Amino acid sequence: MTLSAAVVAVGNELLLGDTVNTNAAWLGGALAAVGVEVVSSVMVADDLPRMVVALQRGLDDADIVLVTGGLGPTSDDITREAVAAVAGVELVRDERIVQQLTERFAAYNYPMPPDVLQQADVPVGATALDNPVGSAPGLRLPVGEQVVYALPGPPHELQAVIGVVLDELRARTGRVLHTRSVHVSGIGEPTVAERVEQAVQVPPGVALAYLAGGGVVRVRFTGTDDDVVRRLADQVADVLGDAVWGRDGAQLDQVVHRELAARGATVAVAESLTGGLLGAALSRMPGSSATFRGSLVVYATDLKETLAGVPGPLLDALGAVSAETAGALAAGARERLGATYGVGVTGVAGPSEQEGKPVGTVHLAVSGPGGADIRSVRVPGDRDRVRLIAVNSALALLWKHLAAERVAP
């Protein structure tokens, strides 16, 4: 069966714009994966009458209601009261939660403020949901044939508490949705879509989506039959060929790190317009000290020569922004930082052109024991976007270089 859900996020800070409601998107994805369709998702202030209206509307809209936030120890945390009101029951103090809170504060050797105990008040008929990473337990309250779940607002607490709720929902729907994705770089979304739609026939009940951002396009199939969605993803991976750098949960920096680690190799960078962002990406993964040596951020043109070893005559003839300069940066990084592979990035982040080269010009190079790859692209967007796409394009080029070596060593 299919279940529908209404999500209610509580907090003045969401309506005032001080906090972006990232929980809503996270919950949407997590619920879809267990066959639950979110039909409405609302933000409401810390105000009892408004919260009761929002919860009642949720019960009108959907089979289950998930409330996030308002479970803390302060006076504006009134989700417990609102849930009790909409169910028409009283709050009662739960001695087991009192005990847990007391032990939690004792373990931290910290005196427990009396207000904390309001977190032990639960609507009559509700079950507490353990919170291993915070003091606010979640709540599960049946309301007639429906169920209201109250969950903590901080994202890491929400994600720690919700496991038992997702298990319960998965058991009810019996409809686990399977998602299979194929990630590509180096070709745009329209081209990806055209090739995918020529190659595969999407059967009824399977959803196809294209998610594009930062120079990466993800092709995603969602359906109840894992064999079917996996086969579709396999077909797409075949069709998109060497533009594909990963599947499913993979991240570009992660696949590069793993590929380097698997062959005991290291990488070093010389980067200009990205200002250090490529080094930051190559050091984001835990354990990256095994694969990442360092980066020369040669923002000033003279440093490209003195630090990274780009020949002065080359800079004089072609400028700091050229494919040849990118190649020399990659070779310089590899040699001077003693790495198996070197990556060079130069270009024009904007807002204005440089050396007569337009904003968005990006030159990328990879240098390795088997030779070099150079790629030049023209990237749309503002300064932040140009820098982000330059980083992802450099990671993709490095990945492609490594993959090609694996095929033909």
In one letter, which amino acid is 314? L
**Pick 4 or 127: Cβ nearer a second copy:** 4
The span from the CA of 310 to the CA of 305, in Å, is 5
14 sits near a second copy (criterion: CB under 8 A)? yes
Query: At its nearest, how many Å lie between a second copy and the CB of residue 82?
Result: 14
Binds a second copy by CB under 8 A, chosen from 121, 125, 383, 403: 383
Q: Which one, 16 or 171, has the nearer CB to a second copy?
A: 16
Site pattern 303..322 for a second copy (x: CB under 8 A): x---x---------------
Q: Report the distance separating Cα 219 and Cα 88, nearest Å.
A: 46
**Strand pairing partners for 363?**
346, 376
Rule CB under 8 A: choose which of 3, 50, 170, 193 binds a second copy: 50
Q: Does 283 bind a second copy (CB under 8 A)?
A: yes
Q: How far apart are the first and last CA of the chain?
A: 51
The span of 17-25, 74-82, 118-126, 163-171 binding a second copy (CB under 8 A) equals: 17-25
Q: Does 183 bind a second copy (CB under 8 A)?
A: no
Binding residues among 60-99 for a second copy as defined by CB under 8 A: 61
Contact in structure between 329 and 346 (CB atoms under 8 Å): yes
Task: Mark the segment that binds a second copy (CB under 8 A) among 38-46, 104-112, 138-146, 370-378.
Answer: 38-46
Please state, in angstroms and as integers, the Cα–Cα distance from residue 129 to each residue in 165, 171, 228, 260, following that order. 9, 17, 36, 42
Q: How far apart are CA 403 and CA 409, in angstroms?
A: 10
Q: How many residues does the chain have?
A: 409
Q: Using CB under 8 A, which of 263, 284, 378, 406 touches a second copy?
A: 284
In one letter, which amino acid is 101? L
315, 317, 323, 327: CA torsion to nearest 10: -50
Rounded CA separation 348/357 (Å):
7
DSSP letters spanning 32-59 = HHTTEEEEEEEEE-S-HHHHHHHHHHHH
Nearer of residues 14 and 151 to a second copy, judged by Cβ: 14
* Residue of the chain from 100, 118, 131, 295 that contacts a second copy (CB under 8 A): 295
Residues making contact with a second copy (CB under 8 A): 14-22, 24-30, 32, 37-45, 50, 53-54, 57, 61, 209, 211, 269, 271, 274-280, 282-284, 286, 288-289, 292-300, 303, 307, 336-337, 350-352, 383-384, 387
